[in-house]
Structure 1
Amino acid sequence: MGAVTVSGLKVTYRRAGSGDPLVLLHGGFGFDSRSWGPQLDALDDEFDVVAWDAPGCGGSDDPPESFSMEQYADSLAEFTKALNLTRPHILGLSFGGALALALYARRRTLPRSLILAGAYAGWAGSLPADEVQRRVKLISEDVTQPPDDWLPKYLPGMLTESAPREMAERTLALMSGIHPRASLTMLRAMANADLRGILPDIDVPTLVLHGERDARSPLAVGKELHTKIPASKLVVLPGVGHLSNIEAADAFNSEVRTFLRSLSSPIRP
């Protein structure tokens, strides 16, 4: 584990390999850089893979309760600068996908490419208002309780019922590291984010990678992102749920590798 200070906060991360930089942005619900284990282990032969713990996740400090999606994005930009990552590829899953879009909106020349996995244009930008309200109410009530009392009921939204039991148990263990107060901060940021306006302006190569059976970010959300982002590529992983990087790691890694290899021209400063 490494650590840097950005926006006045300690931010921890995992790093492996060498090559073009690839920054991995995890989802919410207690996930952190550990959820990218299958990618850190498989893509490090070709890329400098960096998985951060977002503020309020893993070993990172909790941010102020008022932290917005824009502030998460600014912290991410500072993080890439602190690690001297020049025009990194940005791969975000779920909340991390929305964060990747927010980063692009704030620092358009920073990402070399975007990979949006099980992503949203923010909840306000991808879900009906009543569904956003339902999620906010439910999670706000649950997160005040002991994690063991409520986290298991969210697991079916992350993986399909065909996922091996051991995989489900490992995923639940990852989720149990949740920072309750910081998760409410992340929840508010995600619920209020509406990044639809930036989608038509994205002019870096973009891969929309979505699980066919994603119950958290339905496939229709991924298709909408693909429709609105010019020249984006949509890949649907059959039979896979929200955490496609875990449930179908080999297929996920293959699609990421194929996409990034197609961008083989040298990085421009």
Structure 2
Amino acid sequence: MDVVEVDGLSLAFRRAGDGPAVVFVHGGAEDSRTWTPQLDALADEFTVIAWDEPGAGGSSDVPAGFGLSDYADSLAGLIRALDISPCTLVGLSWGVTVILELYRRHPGLIRGLVLADGYAGWRGSLGAEEADARLAGLRDQPPGAFDPTLPGLFAGSPPEQFVPLLEAMTADVRRDSMLTALTAMAQADLSDVLDTIRVPTQLVWGALDARSPLSVAREFERRIPGADLAVIPACGHVSNVEAPETFNDIVRFFLRA
């Protein structure tokens, strides 16, 4: 992994390939390893970069008071440090929320968007009651009990070949950092950003996503000008891992266009 310094934080990232730059933004309680199927497949045609957000993987812990705008500014700093703007961003789940805040604050860095199984914040997409309930459930779990590979994330069992990867990420979750990120997602309402997006946008959703249901995808499709929605059958929330070949084909077609 490589590391850059941004605003006093060490940001780790994986980089492979050569060609137009594509930055992958992982979900909550994950790190850049969740994009392994995409980096392996797409590096033949693109420069693929997957970051570890602050508090994840090889990056620094999150400082006190860190919020959504700080995640977005850190990602902007990474893009500027690598001199790859404007670039396409691919986000999953919480990563979509970070990308929307990045678009609000730094739209000139972005060439195109792939938004997968995501939210305009939990408040923005699910409502305050559901957002508060999800956050309370996470806070009530004892240390070491959180398992990001299980409840409602897959339509069936996780693909066998990726179980060791998922278990490794689970073992490395930092509880305080995870709660910082998911608190930011619970409190966020970025629904107003959707109408302002003026770059090509591809939406990718698992048909059986129980965490961000298709109603959220339809709202994104309705509000983002010109957005195209691709729905992957028999697939849950972590569509890039559960159906990597289909996911990669959708992303590759979009990037070529």
Q: Which runs of 5+ in 1 are unaligned?
A: 263-269
CA distance in 2, matches of 1:184, 1:98: 15
Q: CA deviation at 1:186?
A: 0.5
| 1:197 matched residue in structure 2 | 192
Q: CA deviation at 1:168?
A: 4.0
| 2:147 matched residue in structure 1 | 151
CA distance in 1, matches of 2:167, 2:210: 17
The AA in structure 2 aligned to 1:73 is A
Q: Alpha carbons of 1:107 and 1:164: their partners in 2 closer, same or farther (altered >3 Å)?
A: closer
| 2:58 matched residue in structure 1 | 59
| 1:78 matched residue in structure 2 | 77
* Contact 1:65–1:182 (Cα < 8 Å) also in 2: no
| 1:176 matched residue in structure 2 | 171
- Residues 103-182 of structure 1: pairs in structure 2 closer than 5 A: 103-142=102-141, 144-146=142-144, 149-151=145-147, 155-182=150-177
* Contact 2:135–2:186 (Cα < 8 Å) also in 1: yes
Tell me the SS of whatever aligns to 1:3: strand
| 1:267 matched residue in structure 2 | none
TM-score where L is the length of structure 2: 0.96
CA distance in 1, matches of 2:33, 2:165: 11
CA distance in 2, matches of 1:115, 1:193: 20
The AA in structure 1 aligned to 2:256 is R
- Residues 194-233 of structure 1: pairs in structure 2 closer than 5 A: 194-233=189-228
Q: CA deviation at 1:167?
A: 3.5
Q: CA deviation at 1:164?
A: 3.6
Q: CA deviation at 1:170?
A: 3.5
TM-score where L is the length of structure 1: 0.92
CA distance in 2, matches of 1:25, 1:237: 20
| 1:16 matched residue in structure 2 | 16
| 2:67 matched residue in structure 1 | 68
CA distance in 2, matches of 1:215, 1:121: 16
Tell me the SS of whatever aligns to 2:96: helix
Q: Sequence identity, in percent?
A: 46
The AA in structure 1 aligned to 2:171 is S
CA distance in 1, matches of 2:128, 2:164: 32
* Contact 1:155–1:168 (Cα < 8 Å) also in 2: no
Compute the RMSD of aligned alpha carbons.
1.4
* Contact 1:155–1:172 (Cα < 8 Å) also in 2: no
Q: CA deviation at 1:65?
A: 3.2
* Contact 2:212–2:237 (Cα < 8 Å) also in 1: yes
* Contact 2:131–2:187 (Cα < 8 Å) also in 1: no
Q: CA deviation at 1:162?
A: 4.7
CA distance in 2, matches of 1:19, 1:26: 21
Q: CA deviation at 1:169?
A: 5.0
Q: CA deviation at 1:134?
A: 0.9
Tell me the SS of whatever aligns to 2:173: coil
Q: Deviations over 1:58-80 (max 9, x none)?
A: 01011123111111111110110
Q: Deviations over 1:158-213 (max 9, x none)?
A: 11225444534542332221011111110111111111111111110001111101
The AA in structure 1 aligned to 2:43 is D
| 2:47 matched residue in structure 1 | 48
* Contact 2:33–2:165 (Cα < 8 Å) also in 1: no
Q: Alpha carbons of 1:194 and 1:18: their partners in 2 closer, same or farther (altered >3 Å)?
A: same
CA distance in 2, matches of 1:173, 1:216: 22
Given the alignment, which residue of 223, 226, 245 partners 1:250?
245
* Contact 2:211–2:237 (Cα < 8 Å) also in 1: yes
CA distance in 1, matches of 2:40, 2:164: 20
Structure 1 stretches of at least 4 aligned residues deviating more than 4 Å after TM superposition:
none
Tell me the SS of whatever aligns to 2:146: helix
Q: Which runs of 5+ in 2 are unaligned?
A: none
